[in-house]
Every structure is written in C-alpha cells, then in structure tokens.
Amino acid sequence: MSGPSNKGVARIWRGRTRREIADEYERYNYEEGIRPLIEKASAVQTFRHDGETETEFMTISYWESVEAMGAFTGTDPTAIHHLPRDADYLVELPSAVEILELRVSEGLSPPAAGR
C-alpha cells in the first residue's frame, strides 16, 4: 500500500438559520450560492440538519488546489463570501471556512438527493 497522495482540497462552510425560515433559506442559498459554485468547483455537496429551533447547513466544495479556490473567491480562499441576504437569514454570519487536504477518496458516489 502506498502512502496518501494529495487529491485536492475541500472547502467547508457552515451556517445556521431559524428553523421556521430554513426552507426559504435553503432555496435562496441554492440559487444564489450553490449554483455558481457548481459551475466552478470540481464537486459540491450540501447538507442540512434540522434541530428544534435552528437548522444547520453545511456546504463542502472540492477543488483541484487552493489556487483554483482563490480564483473563484477572487481573494484569499479562506475568506468568507457572504451572500447579499445572509444577514437576513443566518443566526450569525460565519467568520471562517475550513480548508482540508483531501487525502483519500474511494467508493461510490452518494445517491443524488431531490432538489
């Protein structure tokens, strides 16, 4: 078995909204944030967890390199790119994203979720 090899990077964003507006935010986030991301990133996954009073969203985008990520953001790839109405929807504006090196990627892709 050979050692791990760099297969790219993942950029992880998390945000929380009030549960009663989560569906509305999810639609807005998809149209304004996810759609443009899909056109530029190697792959994109979105996740949602509904709690009693808040809903957490997480987006993971996959990139060939940190430089490719920076070309999309137009600045520092670790910088947050807030959508115009995020302040209206989110409980608090996220102050950071997490960037991780992808070391191993094996197996089948997860089944496509309904949109």
Q: What is the pLDDT of residues 56-70, one digit of tens each?
A: 999 999 999 888 888
Distance, CA of 82 to CA of 84 (rounded, Å) = 6
The structural domains of the chain, with segments of one domain joined by +, span 9-101
pLDDT (0 to 100) of residue 3 = 45
CATH architecture assignment, domain 9-101: 2-Layer Sandwich (3.30)
**pLDDT tens per residue across span 35-93:** 999 999 999 999 999 999 999 999 999 999 888 888 777 778 788 889 999 999 999 99
pTM of the model: 0.84
Mapped to the 3 state alphabet, what secondary structure does 38-100 carry?
HHHCCEEEEEEEECCCEEEEEEEEEECCHHHHHHHHCCCCCCCCCCCCHHHHECCCCCCCEEE
